[in-house]
Amino acid sequence: MNMRSAIAAALLCAATGAALAAPLAYVPNEKSGTVSVIDTGTDKVARTIGTGGKPRGIAVSPDGATLYVSDRSANALLVVELVGGTVRERIGLGESPEGIDLSRDGSLLAAASETTNGVVLVETGGEHRKWTVQVPGKNPEHTAFSPDGRWVLVGAEDGAQVDIVDVAQKKVAASVAVGQRPRGIGFAPDGKTAYVACELDGTLYAIDIATRSATPFKAGPFSNGVTVSPDGAKVYVSSGRGARVDVFDTASRRFVASIPVGERPWNMAITPDGRKLYVANGRSGTVSVIDTATNKRVADVKVDELPWGVAIR
């Protein structure tokens, strides 16, 4: 084999290895000031990134190079370079930031700023231009971009509504009445329906984006995190007080399973192939791994203190 052929073979092997590598799950640990990185192929912690402060909301850039974390103590968005694990920038978000989300193309980030009753939209490139959109719902906690990037949905923790922000106009287009203390929000892949868990009612609401109407479904006590499967067939809802994850079929809109996990499960994320669901258990200091084909918990991964959620890229 000549040198050119050897180089080509090496590049092919490297590309194949990268393609076959399992995605990574990133877990912000609020009390420890760290982010645990879990290899979803082995379900082991591969590394721990020190961010300091109180990391809560988390998102990963589409290219997997940058991690975005909301830091409650610094009232800022931390921009973390994943290669070195260092905080590259801190961008102010207003007082007590929590849930964040990235648009599908990764160009825009939305962050809930609780105390200021606003949603901060931040451009991830260039000079990080940002805009704050005031929302009528008190104490916004979670944000979710629609798949097409047109809307950002915002849950009001101390209210009973979900506000719909028009991203282009940078203003609230509508508010949809739901149950008390809406928390996690997840969109169906087609963007037509969004699902929100209402904690104090123990209820899951399906919001029709076109008609701005909501339909309730009974879920577990202290319903919290919401994740939709990549094919849109299932919705997963964590039950904080029930220490479980409930599974709903979206076609029939019926409850199909309940899966025991750790104590006080909060936010979750699913692998791109839909085969594994990762659930942050705040009081247990673990992440439960669920096999979605069998609806069984297959592992509990020990992380640091008070894991808030999970992001997978």
Confidence of residue 222 (pLDDT cuts 50, 70, 90): very high
Amino acid at 284: S
pLDDT more than 90, % of the chain: 88
Q: 140-145 and 213-218: which strand pairing?
A: unpaired
Query: What's the mean pLDDT in 213-223?
Result: 95
For residue 213, which amino acid is it? Answer: S
Say if 6 falls within a structural domain. Answer: no
Assigned domain for 17 exists: no
pLDDT for residue 21:
84
Assess if residue 127 is contained within a domain. Answer: yes
**66-97: burial string, b at 16+ Cβ within 10 Å, e else:** bbbbbbbebbbbbbbebeeeebeeebebbebb
The whole-number pLDDT of residue 41 equals 97
- Domain-located, residue 166: yes
- Which CATH number does the domain housing residue 163 bear? 2.130.10.10
Mean pLDDT of 161-165: 97
The whole domain housing 94 covers 22-312
Residue 287, beta-bridge partner list: 280, 301
Residue 8 has pLDDT above 80, yes or no: no
User: Does residue 196 sit within a domain?
Assistant: yes
Q: Does a structural domain hold residue 2?
A: no
pLDDT number for residue 9: 40
Is 70 exceeded by the pLDDT of residue 154?
yes
pLDDT at 172 over 90: yes
pLDDT in tens, 54-81: 999 999 999 999 999 999 999 999 999 9
Rounded to two decimals, what is the model's pTM? Answer: 0.92
Q: How many domains does the chain have?
A: 1
Query: Does a structural domain hold residue 130?
Result: yes
Confidence grade of residue 20 (pLDDT, cut at 50, 70, 90): low
Q: Mean pLDDT, to the nearest integer, of 36-62?
A: 97
Write the CB contacts of 308 (distance below 8 Å, at least 6 apart in sequence). 27, 28, 29, 30, 55, 56, 57, 58, 266, 267, 280, 282
pLDDT beyond 60 at 102: yes
For residue 14, being part of any structural domain is answered with: no
32 vs 8: which has the higher pLDDT = 32
**Alpha carbon distance 154, 141 (integer Å):** 7
Average pLDDT, the chain: 93
For residue range 26-39, list pLDDT tens digits in order: 999 999 999 999 99
